[in-house]
């Protein structure tokens, strides 16, 4: 019997797609201009390669990515400047992050039947308490447990620790939980590896190239089907 629904935040409950696009373009232009010598095509290719490398190990620190980019080009970065740019980056993301239209309504409906929790990764900032969740205090009332993985000694997803910590704090077995997330590796595989039933949300509100995988994991394109959870799981 399902007793709890666990959620990711970004691109699951909130839409940050436009924010990330704007923040990435701003950062790329700043760094490219600071170099003053690189070819744009080579630069952007290396930028994306490094970003993928860091993301694949669940390291979302923009400063770390940018530092590696400077080092690739034999440059010594001004770390104070990178810190300023990183703050600007996350402020841009935050300013352009919005709730999906159905989020609050669906969470309210679910909270009357299930325990609702959040397991989300930190954004790699140098101080805690700046996660996008703080922008949406109206959501916090729904969550019995909030785990920001990557902070306070908790490793980031897909490590099993944040999932198991959430289960322990809820006082439930893994077979009694469902996890809803958008990222195949971090969310879906992470939850499945600890025995939690995942549901993969590929929200219809934004365009994305989803991994081409063959899977029996239920796929939804909005949060609304969660209100009839049993029909999804069967």
Q: Are residues 91 and 107 in the same domain?
A: no
* CA distance readout (Å), 79 to 26, 31, 58, 137, 195: 17, 12, 21, 32, 41
Q: What is the DSSP letter of 121?
A: E
Q: Are residues 27 and 10 in the same domain?
A: no
Q: Are residues 107 and 211 in the same domain?
A: yes
Q: Are residues 86 and 75 in the same domain?
A: yes
Residue among 198, 168, 204 nearest 184 (CA): 198
Report pLDDT for 122. 85
Q: Are residues 77 and 170 in the same domain?
A: no
Report pLDDT for 165. 98
Q: What angle do CA 24, 29, 30 make, to 5 degrees?
A: 100
Q: Are residues 10 and 24 in the same domain?
A: no
Q: What range does the domain containing 128 cover?
A: 4-16+98-233
Q: How many CB atoms lie within 10 A of CB 115?
A: 20
Say if residues 165 and 120 touch (Cβ distance below 8 Å).
Answer: no
Q: Are residues 67 and 108 in the same domain?
A: no
The total number of structural domains that make up the chain: 2
**Domain final residue pick, 41, 73, 95:** 95
Q: Are residues 33 and 131 in the same domain?
A: no
Q: Are residues 78 and 109 in the same domain?
A: no
* CA distance readout (Å), 153 to 84, 149, 204: 25, 8, 35
pLDDT tens readout for residues 85-133: 999 999 999 899 999 999 999 999 999 999 999 999 987 655 545 566 7
Q: Are residues 211 and 103 in the same domain?
A: yes
The owner of tokens 């709890």 is 4
| pLDDT < 50: residue spans in the chain | 128
**Domain final residue pick, 75, 95, 115:** 95
Q: Are residues 183 and 212 in the same domain?
A: yes
Report pLDDT for 128. 46
Q: Are residues 83 and 126 in the same domain?
A: no
**Domain final residue pick, 95, 121, 155:** 95
The owner of tokens 């993969």 is 200
The owner of tokens 């006082």 is 171
Alpha helices in the chain (DSSP H): 17-35, 40-56, 62-72, 79-95, 103-111, 137-140, 160-170, 190-192, 229-233
Instruction: Give me the CATH number covering residue 216.
Output: 3.40.50.1000
CA dihedral defined by 18, 48, 147, 135, rounded to 10 degrees? Answer: -30
Residue 73 dihedral angles phi and psi, to the nearest 5°: -95, 10
Report pLDDT for 160. 98
């Amino acid at each position: 019997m399902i007793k709890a629904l666990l959620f990711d935040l970004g691109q699951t409950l909130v839409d940050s797609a436009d924010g990330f696009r704007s923040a990435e373009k701003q950062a790329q232009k700043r760094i490219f201009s600071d170099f003053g010598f690189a070819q744009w095509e080579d630069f952007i290719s290396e930028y994306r390669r490094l970003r993928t490398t860091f993301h694949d190990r669940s390291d979302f620190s923009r400063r770390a990515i940018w530092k590696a980019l400077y080092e690739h080009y034999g440059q010594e970065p001004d770390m104070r400047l990178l810190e300023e740019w990183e703050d600007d980056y996350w402020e841009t993301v935050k300013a352009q992050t919005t709730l999906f239209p159905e989020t609050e309504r669906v969470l309210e409906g679910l909270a009357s039947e299930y325990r609702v929790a959040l397991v989300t990764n930190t954004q790699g900032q140098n101080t805690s308490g700046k996660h996008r969740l703080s922008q949406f205090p109206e959501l916090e009332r729904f969550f019995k447990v909030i785990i920001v993985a990557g902070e306070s000694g908790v490793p980031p997803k897909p490590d099993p620790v944040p999932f198991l910590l959430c289960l322990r704090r809820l006082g439930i077995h893994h077979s009694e939980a469902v996890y809803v997330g958008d990222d195949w590796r971090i969310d879906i595989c992470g939850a499945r590896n600890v025995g939690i039933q995942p549901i993969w949300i590929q929200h219809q509100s934004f365009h994305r190239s989803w991994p081409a995988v063959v899977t029996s994991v239920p796929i939804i394109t909005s949060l609304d089907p969660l209100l009839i959870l049993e029909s999804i799981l069967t």
